[in-house]
Chain A
Amino acid sequence: MDGAHLTQALRHRVVLEIQLRHARDTFELNVSMRCPTPGVIALFGPSGAGKSTLAHIIAGLIPLQNGYIRLDGQTLSDSALGIHLKPEHRGIGYVFQDARLFPHLSVSGNLHFASKRVGTRAVYVSYDEVVSLLGLETLLARRVHTLSGGERQRVALARALLLQPRMLILDEPLAAIDTPRRAEVLPFLVRLRDRFSIPMLYVSHQYEEVLQLASYLALIDEGKILAAGHLSQLSQLQALQKYIGQEAIGSVLDAVVDAVDEGSNLASVALGEQRLRFYLPNSVQGQRIRIHVLARDVIISTQAPTGLSVRNAILCTLTQLHDEAPDSVIATLQFGQTALLSRITRSAVYDLQLKVGASVWALVKAASLRGNLL
């Protein structure tokens, strides 16, 4: 990117700035963050971490006690200046966990409730487009109490979008839906993310959802932001690991497909000077993808592998060994700008005499890697 392009990109970059302290009973929210947008910002943390409170404060539903919130340079709240924009004037679409559709209105009545109140904001998406994006064509005349949980959330999403919002807050939109039914909503969320360039704040305690949607992650617990950054940079962070569950520990790589072997359904991405091959049917060169390389799928070898079926052997530097459990260790393997995580047993560390700074080979089966389109 040359200089002119860079300034252009920076000028168009909307930023959400939050600096606040908020006390309620014995709980204190103490947040300072600056998120680049557009894109999906995941506010991720366990139940009771303060996620929903923070989301409510951003929307103006809970008055800010101390600090400020700015969106794209505009102050939404500032306790020092005495500014508190009412929620009805913020233009922030909010999708609640429990949908909160109006029971006295039909589905289309709920949608029109929003589209009649756009005010002076520019209309960037039409009623018809929203209806078709969320697949609501056949539901429009229905009364809301006849809808399933997934359908309700799709209507709530459509309603929030028809406000022509300048930002969308999704407050655990899948939490109230049975796990198998979540698949009925998640693809729609992906579609919205790809279609609109408005910032989306996605509140969740499910890492799986975050992986599928978010580009930026803010980890929150006990009212504090513990880490914030691009998911691909944060995924190797020790602080995150205790919140995502052992099985999900791994390295998130965002990359562009640069070669496709159609015969074997293998695609590959270049990561610095190295190359990672993985299974992705029907992939196209130039696609942006996200690969979640799980720590349990990465093998460490101290010698260059020969005679193995493994398709990926990457020469790395072992930069960190940390104890995960009494008998297992998570090793961080750095190559160029990228790091992989590997879960190995303590006895393997001892037998291979692994030490920080050593050069090792990271072995990953291509078949165990799945690329997700971004």
Chain B
Amino acid sequence: MLTPVELEAFKLSLWISLSSVLCNLPIAILIAWLIGRYRFTGRALLDACVHLPLVLPPVVTGYLLLMLLGIHGPIGHWLYTTFQIRLAFTTTGAIIATAVMSFPFMVRAIRLSIEGIPRGLDEAARTLGAGPIDRFFQVTLPLIVPGILAGMITAFAAGLGEFGAVITFASNIPGQTQTLPLALYTALQSPSGDIAAMRIAGLSVLLGFMGLLAGEWMARTLRKHYGTASC
């Protein structure tokens, strides 16, 4: 029912979105923890940088990535001459572009759940002999698991739909960077692509539904586990 190119785009979408979520996870937890727990100079600036992709046109984000990480950009040039690593117009590039775009969703969800932990629990853990790292792994982290999962689902769903940044930084190469939205765009460009476009659109709707249902199920399971009381 799907053409090989479309199937490829489907698999690539899942792969790129999943990879971007996993790459983002540790950094998002760290940044969310810094912003949610501490007051420091530069906090507002950091917060703004995290949220920038949310307000910029995605094409601009893609263009900025190209300027920085492209073969002639300062970082991209260094990567290429030192490690022979090329990011622009590759699958890795598409993952990076998707990661940057979905990063704010993840930080937001995790930060909200960090801020939702009663501060008193940290104090209680301190009086019980737990140092900072101990407290992070034994108290904070288990309590923000719901936020982390919610952030991952949102970021994954947003990643599936990323278009502008990916096409600008990684281009539209079938089998390498052509995700579902990009394939849909290509189909629309062709005079006989209407049926293909509908198939791809339907697939996207299905994926979206599954994501939402998974999120709802997870939220319910977690509520059952943690209860609603904050004690």
Contact = CB atoms under 8 A, between A and B. Distances in A.
A341 interface: no
A159 B231 contact: no
24 contacts: A61-B127, A87-B127, A88-B126, A88-B127, A93-B127, A96-B120, A100-B120, A100-B121, A100-B231, A103-B226, A103-B227, A104-B142, A104-B143, A114-B128, A114-B129, A117-B130, A144-B229, A144-B231, A145-B226, A145-B231, A159-B128, A160-B127, A160-B128, A163-B127
How many interface residues does chain A have, given as a range? 20 to 34
A99 interface: yes
Given A100-B118, A102-B121, A145-B228, A119 B139 contact: no
Contacts, number: 81
Contacts of B131: 86, 88
B134 to A, nearest CB: 8
B231 A117 contact: no
A102 B123 CA distance: 11
Residue with the greatest number of chain B CB neighbours at <10 A, chosen from A87, A91, A104: A104
A207 interface: no
A146 B124 CA distance: 20
Residue with the greatest number of chain A CB neighbours at <10 A, chosen from B121, B127, B129, B130: B127
Given A94-B124, A113-B130, 19 more contacts: A59-B127, A60-B126, A61-B126, A61-B127, A86-B126, A88-B128, A89-B129, A94-B127, A96-B124, A100-B118, A100-B123, A100-B124, A102-B125, A113-B128, A117-B130, A144-B227, A159-B128, A160-B127, A160-B128
How many interface residues does chain B have, given as a range? 20 to 34
B41 interface: no
A152 B230 CA distance: 12
Contacts of A93: 127
B221 interface: no
B138 interface: yes
B231 A163 contact: no
A101 interface: yes
Contacts of A222: none
Interface of A: 59-61, 86-94, 96, 98-104, 113-114, 117-119, 143-146, 152, 159-160, 163
A98 B123 CA distance: 12
A117 B129 contact: yes
Given A61-B123, A94-B124, A113-B138, A103 B230 contact: yes
Contacts of A160: 127-128
For chain B, what secondary structure do more than half of its interface residues adopt (helix, strand, loop), or is it mixed?
helix
Contacts of A159: 128
A103 B143 contact: yes
A143 B128 contact: no
A159 B231 CA distance: 14
A284 to B, nearest CB: 39
B130 A92 contact: no
A247 B143 CA distance: 47
Nearest to A149: B231
Nearest to B129: A117
A100 B118 CA distance: 9
B230 A163 contact: no
A101 B231 contact: yes
* Interface pairs A-B: 6 shortest CB-CB: A145-B227, A117-B129, A145-B229, A100-B124, A94-B127, A87-B126
Interface in B17-58: none
B118 to A, nearest CB: 7
Given A102-B121, A104-B142, A92 B230 contact: no
Contacts of A91: 129
A92 B125 CA distance: 12
Contacts of B130: 88, 113, 117
B230 to A, nearest CB: 6
A175 B49 CA distance: 45
A94 B130 CA distance: 13
Nearest to A147: B231
Contacts of B129: 88-89, 91, 114, 117-119, 163
Interface string B130-161: 11001000110011000000000000000000
A89 B131 CA distance: 9
A114 B139 CA distance: 13
Contact of A102 (B139, B227, B228): B139
Contacts of B139: 102, 104
Nearest to B229: A145
A120 to B, nearest CB: 11
Contacts of A100: 118, 120-121, 123-124, 231
A186 to B, nearest CB: 21
Contact of B227 (A61, A99, A114, A143): A143
B127 A152 contact: no
